[in-house]
Structures are given as structure tokens and as C-alpha cells.
């Protein structure tokens, strides 16, 4: 049997809905053997996840999903096997958290102008005192009946040219990879098919990513179609990138995505875990 890897997941420490401990327990229950916790722009769930993983017999990979602005667009880079105590990484992530805080207040002001009261406060309530995300605004807007589900809220309010949209001003590729590598990690471009880049632009992104020392592409993702997966497998081979596999699980509210429930990596790819120690905890 193959080891079951899920290298992209979220807890309540960012925009997921399970605590790190609940997430790890669920992963172990559904048969995941190696799981990376990759919350957006924070490492604050790693300690708790690690403790539960030890008890559950699951191998926990400390990770993070870093928000990057590239070519005026938001791109996500997953860092795997990072040292969660690394000062350069922690300081970098703090700057992203500071931007998130400012952006949240700004989204609140924009939505108020559009006639929606209390969005900032409502989003803070959903964020429960940890990092704040557009997802928390989405939960609030669904709660007050402004849209049917998260997807509909994003479409109506939170994306470009909509009333609650505030442009991302994250870090750049070079800095993001600098932080991940300073912390001893590997960098992986998350859900590459989600950005709707042309083949040319995607290759440009990968070219710059590789110049910065980037190592991997998330070929298998919960947000990829089968066709996306085959396309990205071709690009990973062509560009000689390691291949990763992750569900991008955010919680049981979304029945379409489950921990570890993903296709195997397509043939002819080098897995990002190839050189990982086999039995290390």
C-alpha cells in the first residue's frame, strides 16, 4: 500500500473550521498517514497539531500557505517542513498578518458603504481572535442572509470589482521563498490551476519561482479537476518540479473535499516527499 499523504490543510488558526487537534484526529480517522498543516500566513496551530499527531500515530509536517502578490495577482505558496520557530519566517508572516488586519477593517468600511453594517465585527466573531480572512466575512454574510453559500458571497461581494473587494498587497515571490528556505522548508506553488493563468504566464511564474529556488508544484489538489491534474502533471515534468498532493481541506461544511481523498500522483513525477526521512516523527 502507498502511504497516504495530504500536504495542504487548514485549521481554525486561519480560515478552516476545525481546531488543529480536531483536524489531525479526523485525518488519522480517514487514513491519512502524513499530513501537513498549512494555515494561511501563520504557524500558530503547529504545536497543538503536533501533540495530537503524536498520540494519533500520524506524521505531522509543519507547513504554511504564504500569500504572495505576483504580477498584481494573489498566488499561494505552500512551505513544507518549515521550522515553526524560525525568526525570519515568523517575522515575515507577522507582516502578512498585519496587512490582513488592516485589510479586514477596510473591507468592513467598504461593505458599510454598500449598506452592510457590522461586517468587520461579524467577521472577527467568526475568526475567533485569530488571523482574519475573507472567508470569515463570507461566513458572516451567509449568516445574515446576504448569500446562499460561501461561493456565492465571494462572487457577489469579495472579488475584484465587487463592493467588499480590497486588493491584496502581500509579499513577493523572492521574499516568500526566502522565508520558507530560511526555515529549512521546501516551497510548492499551491493549486496552480486556480489562478487561470495562460500557459505562457504559468511558465513565467514557474521560471521566476525556480530562480528563487522554488522546488514544487501542487499537481494533485482538492480544487483541481482531473484535467487540471493532468495538465499540471505535464508542466511539473516539463519544468522539472517536484510534485505535491493536498486536499486544501477547510472543514466538514464543504462535503466536496475530504482529507486525504485524492487521486494518486500521476506517473512519471518525482514526489516532493522523495527525500523525506521515512520514519522520523
Is 11 a binding residue for ligand AMP by CB under 6 A? The answer is no
Is 154 a binding residue for ligand AMP by CB under 6 A? The answer is yes
Using CB under 6 A, which of the segments 148-156, 214-222, 234-242, 271-279 binds ligand AMP? 148-156
Four-CA torsion 189, 157, 137, 262, nearest 10 degrees: -40
Task: For residues 260 and 32, give the distance between their C-alpha atoms in angstroms, rounded to a whole number.
Answer: 6
Q: Quick one: what does residue 151 bind among ligand AMP, Mn ion, none, with the CB cut-off 5 to 8 Å set by partner type?
A: ligand AMP
Is 15 a binding residue for ligand AMP by CB under 6 A? The answer is yes
The alpha-helical segments, DSSP class H, found in 36-172 are 46-56, 87-113, 119-127, 134-143, 150-153
Specify the residue, 137 or 209, whose C-beta has the smaller distance to ligand AMP.
137
* Residue with the three cell numbers 516523527: 281
Task: For residues 213 and 66, give the distance between their C-alpha atoms in angstroms, rounded to a whole number.
Answer: 16
What Rg, from alpha-carbon coordinates, does the chain have? 18
Cell of 28: 488519522
* Residue with the three cell numbers 514526489: 271
Is 191 a binding residue for ligand AMP by CB under 6 A? The answer is no
Helices (H) and strands (E) in the chain, counts: 9, 7
As beta bridge partners, residue 69 has 74
Q: Quick one: what does residue 67 bind among ligand AMP, Mn ion, none, with the CB cut-off 5 to 8 Å set by partner type?
A: ligand AMP
Using CB under 5 A, which of the segments 100-108, 161-169, 206-214, 241-249 binds Mn ion? 241-249
Look at residue 46 and give its three-state secondary structure.
helix
Specify the residue, 51 or 73, whose C-beta has the smaller distance to ligand AMP.
73
Is 76 a binding residue for Mn ion by CB under 5 A? The answer is yes
3-state DSSP: the chain helix, strand, coil percent, rounded to 5?
40, 15, 40
Spatial neighbors of 98 by CB under 8 A, at least 6 apart, are none
Specify the residue, 143 or 211, whose C-beta has the smaller distance to ligand AMP.
143
Q: Quick one: what does residue 221 bind among ligand AMP, Mn ion, none, with the CB cut-off 5 to 8 Å set by partner type?
A: none
Which listed residue (8, 59, 191, 250) binds ligand AMP by CB under 6 A? 250
Which listed residue (9, 13, 38, 67) binds ligand AMP by CB under 6 A? 67
Task: For residues 67 and 173, give the distance between their C-alpha atoms in angstroms, rounded to a whole number.
Answer: 9
Is 151 a binding residue for ligand AMP by CB under 6 A? The answer is yes
Using CB under 5 A, which of the segments 7-15, 115-123, 206-214, 215-223 binds Mn ion? 7-15
Is 218 a binding residue for Mn ion by CB under 5 A? The answer is no
Cell of 237: 515534468
- Residues 108-147, one symbol each (x = binds Mn ion by CB under 5 A, - = not), give ----------------------------------------
Look at residue 209 and give its three-state secondary structure.
helix
Is 248 a binding residue for Mn ion by CB under 5 A? The answer is yes
Q: In angstroms, give the least distance from the CB of 121 to ligand AMP.
A: 17
User: Contact residues for ligand AMP (CB under 6 A)?
Assistant: 15, 40, 67, 133-135, 150-151, 154, 250
Amino acid at each position: 500500500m502507498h502511504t497516504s499523504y495530504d500536504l495542504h490543510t487548514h485549521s481554525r488558526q486561519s480560515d478552516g473550521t476545525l481546531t488543529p487537534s480536531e483536524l489531525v484526529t479526523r485525518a488519522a480517522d480517514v487514513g491519512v498517514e502524513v499530513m501537513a498543516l498549512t494555515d494561511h500566513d501563520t504557524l500558530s496551530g503547529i504545536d497543538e497539531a503536533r501533540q495530537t499527531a503524536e498520540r494519533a500515530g500520524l506524521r505531522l509536517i509543519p507547513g504554511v500557505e504564504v500569500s504572495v502578490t505576483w504580477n498584481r495577482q494573489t498566488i499561494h505558496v505552500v512551505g513544507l517542513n518549515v521550522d515553526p520557530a524560525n525568526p525570519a519566517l515568523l517575522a515575515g508572516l507577522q507582516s502578512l498578518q498585519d496587512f490582513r488586519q488592516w485589510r479586514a477593517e477596510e473591507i468592513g468600511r467598504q461593505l458599510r458603504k454598500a449598506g452592510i453594517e457590522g461586517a468587520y465585527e461579524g467577521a472577527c466573531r467568526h475568526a475567533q481572535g485569530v488571523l482574519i480572512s475573507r472567508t470569515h466575512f463570507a461566513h458572516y454574510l451567509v449568516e445574515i442572509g446576504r448569500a446562499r453559500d460561501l461561493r456565492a458571497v465571494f462572487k457577489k461581494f469579495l472579488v475584484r470589482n465587487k463592493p467588499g473587494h480590497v486588493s491584496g498587497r502581500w509579499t513577493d515571490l523572492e521574499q516568500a521563498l526566502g522565508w520558507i528556505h530560511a526555515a529549512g522548508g521546501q516551497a510548492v506553488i499551491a493549486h496552480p490551476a486556480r489562478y487561470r493563468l495562460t500557459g505562457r504566464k504559468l511558465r513565467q511564474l514557474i521560471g521566476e519561482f525556480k530562480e528563487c529556488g522554488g522546488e514544487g508544484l501542487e499537481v494533485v489538489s482538492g480544487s483541481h479537476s482531473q484535467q487540471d491534474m493532468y495538465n499540471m502533471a505535464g508542466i511539473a515534468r516539463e519544468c522539472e518540479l517536484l510534485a505535491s498532493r493536498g486536499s486544501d481541506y477547510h472543514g466538514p461544511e464543504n462535503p466536496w473535499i475530504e482529507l486525504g481523498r485524492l487521486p494518486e500522483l500521476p506517473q512519471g513525477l518525482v514526489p516532493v516527499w522523495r527525500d523525506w526521512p521515512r520514519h522520523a516523527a
